[in-house]
């Protein structure tokens, strides 16, 4: 049995966190023991979440759970750190999902006005954690899952010396749609994927040496169900799901007006789960309600990446990494989402084919927005923030940009 691996979870009191222990336990052939060290602000909530995590890990002797509100103590001797902090809580997410409606735009916690507001709250706090990590365990690998993921990752990469990689389960579900459009198993396909977090594109789909992109485009309603097939046919590539906010902002707004936000639903669910966790710990019966949180990301991407970093075998994923020279038409320091190999604790971006000019133009615009937005937030520079928002692919006018800036930088009132 190999040496133990310490995985620190920032924001470890989240009610979905027990699913991480379950996902790790479900991965076969793990050789190294894993300690999940959960850290958060509430001792009571941490105790309940840790207890349920132990329950879901079952009799797996290679998984142990600890918890503390002392983040510095938790970080001692950390090998991997998972950042899943939610600054402002679900109430902040509810704000992100609603305030853009006032000026005719859809709200969302990762893209558009809501994504900028979320970044404005999150980046300063995450950088405080990052500097703590630099001091205590600078050699650790930082995996960031906190939204808006690529902006948070760029801030860490730009302003610290840490090794940071971004995780998202979105590309997995996107590739599943591609496979379903062809009626083939995803495991039989080689998919050319490139772009940025929630701004990804499939530019080639290979099966037995043949590029089947045209067949996928012909079934665009399955491959990209939330985007008009005419868009996919015109571009000649497959846009990722979140590009519906770019191409159909008015449609996305219409689906949200007059309805409860996802954040409001999650606030209710969180309260229910905390009560249910207490009952489960008393009764010894696993909680029934956890499946309603639908935290599929732990099983889909987070647990597999953690295990791949810990073990000797080679694994392929789609992750968010620093560009360096992977995509020649983007800045070297940009954060990109591309296929990578994880081997012996290292993450290496794979070569990607060139993209059509239209895709390049859109990704370059989004990249310029993200980099400027992060610098503006860190510097608290209003002029730079306005310039960034004028480049945001979802924000179409000066008035929308100016109102976004005012709302984001005065929350909470």
pLDDT tens for each residue of 82-128: 999 999 999 999 999 999 999 999 999 999 999 999 999 999 999 99
Q: For residues 12 and 76, what is the distance between their CA atoms, to the nearest angstrom?
A: 16
pLDDT band at 413 (very low <50, low <70, confident <90, very high): low
Name the packing angle between helices 112-136 and 89-98 (round to 10°).
150
Which sign does the torsion angle of CA 202, 203, 209, 215 carry? positive
Q: What is the H or E stretch that residue 155 is in?
A: helix 149-159
pLDDT over 90 for what percent of the chain? 93
Position 216 confidence tier, pLDDT thresholds 50, 70, 90: very high
Average pLDDT over residues 334-349: 96
Higher pLDDT among residues 360 and 292, named by residue: 360
Q: Answer yes or no: are the C-beta atoms of 49 and 277 closer than 8 Å.
A: yes
Q: How confident is the model over 146-161, as a mean pLDDT?
A: 97
User: Could you tell me the end-to-end alpha-carbon distance of the chain, in angstroms, rounded to an integer?
Assistant: 54
How would you write 309-377 as a 3-class SS string? HHCCCCEEEEEEEECCCCCCCCCCCCEEEEEEEEECCEEEECCCCCCCHHHHHHHHHHHHHHHHHHHHH
Q: What is the band of 190 on the pLDDT scale with cuts at 50, 70, 90?
A: very high
Determine the Cα angle at 104 with ends 98 and 107, to 5°.
30
Q: At CA 230, angle to CA 224 and CA 231, rounded to 5?
A: 65
For position 94, what pLDDT does the model report? 97
Closest CA to 372 of 62, 116, 100, 70: 116
CA distance 80 to 339: 21
Count Cβ atoms below 10 Å from residue 207 Cβ, excluding itself. Answer: 16
Convert the pLDDT of each residue in 223-244 to its tens digit. Answer: 999 999 999 999 999 999 999 9
Measured distance CA(84)–CA(10) in Å, rounded: 6
Under a CB-based contact definition with an 8 Å cutoff, are residues 366 and 200 in contact? no
25 within 8 A of 48, measured Cβ to Cβ: no
Categorize the per-residue pLDDT at 408 as very low, low, confident or very high, splitting at 50, 70 and 90: very high
Mean pLDDT of the chain: 96
Judge residue 283's burial from the number of C-beta atoms within 10 Å of its C-beta, 0-12 exposed, 13-18 middle, 19 or more buried.
exposed
User: What domains does the chain contain, in order, with CATH numbers?
Assistant: 5-88+107-167+262-309 (3.40.50.720), 89-106+168-259+312-413 (3.90.110.10)
* pTM (two decimals): 0.96
The strand pairing partners of 8, in sequence order, are 37, 81
Spatial neighbors of 234 by CB under 8 A, at least 6 apart, are none
Closest CA to 132 of 171, 162, 102: 162
Distance CA 171, CA 166 (A): 12
Confidence of residue 2 (pLDDT cuts 50, 70, 90): low
Statement: residue 1 has pLDDT above 80? no
For the residues 366-381, what does the mean pLDDT come to? 98
Q: Tell me the per-residue pLDDT of 276-324, one tens digit each, with 9 for 90 and over.
A: 999 999 999 988 878 777 789 999 999 999 999 999 789 999 999 999 9
Cα separation, 364 vs 348, in Å, equals 22
């Amino acid at each position: 049995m190999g040496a133990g691996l310490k995985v620190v979870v920032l924001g470890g009191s989240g009610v979905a966190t027990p699913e991480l222990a379950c996902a790790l336990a479900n991965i076969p052939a793990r050789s190294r023991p894993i300690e999940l060290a959960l850290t958060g602000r509430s001792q009571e909530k941490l105790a309940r979440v840790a207890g349920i995590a132990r329950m879901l890990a079952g009799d797996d002797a290679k998984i142990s759970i600890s918890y503390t509100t002392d983040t510095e103590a938790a970080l001692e001797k950390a090998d991997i750190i998972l950042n899943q902090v939610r600054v402002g809580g679900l109430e902040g997410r509810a704000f992100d999902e609603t305030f853009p409606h006032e000026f005719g735009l859809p709200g969302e916690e990762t893209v558009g006005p809501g994504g900028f507001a979320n970044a404005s709250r999150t980046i300063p706090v995450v950088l405080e954690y990052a500097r703590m990590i630099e001091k205590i365990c600078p050699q650790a690998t930082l995996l960031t899952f906190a939204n808006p993921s690529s902006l948070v990752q760029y801030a860490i990469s730009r302003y610290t010396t840490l090794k940071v990689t971004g995780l998202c389960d979105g590309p997995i579900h996107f590739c599943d749609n591609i496979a379903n459009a062809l009626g083939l198993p995803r495991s039989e396909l080689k998919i050319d994927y490139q772009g940025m977090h929630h701004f990804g594109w499939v530019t080639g789909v290979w099966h037995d040496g043949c590029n089947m992109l045209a067949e996928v485009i012909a079934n665009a309603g399955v491959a990209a169900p939330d985007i008009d097939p005419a868009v996919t046919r015109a571009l000649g590539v497959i846009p990722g799901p979140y590009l519906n906010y770019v191409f159909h902002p008015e449609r996305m707004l219409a689906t949200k007006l007059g309805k409860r936000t996802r954040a409001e639903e999650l606030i209710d669910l969180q309260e229910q789960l905390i009560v249910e966790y207490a009952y489960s710990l008393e009764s010894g019966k696993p909680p029934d309600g956890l499946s309603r949180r639908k935290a599929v990301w732990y099983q889909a991407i987070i647990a597999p990446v953690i295990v791949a970093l810990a073990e000797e075998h080679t694994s392929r994923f789609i992750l968010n990494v620093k560009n360096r020279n992977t995509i020649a038409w983007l800045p070297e320091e940009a954060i990109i989402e591309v296929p990578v190999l994880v081997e012996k604790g290292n993450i290496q971006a794979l070569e990607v084919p060139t993209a059509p000019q239209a895709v390049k133009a859109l990704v370059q615009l989004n990249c310029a927005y993200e980099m400027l937005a992060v610098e503006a937030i860190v510097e608290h520079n209003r002029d730079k923030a306005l310039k960034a928002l004028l480049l945001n692919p979802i924000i179409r006018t000066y008035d929308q940009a100016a109102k976004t800036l005012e709302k984001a930088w005065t929350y909470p009132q």
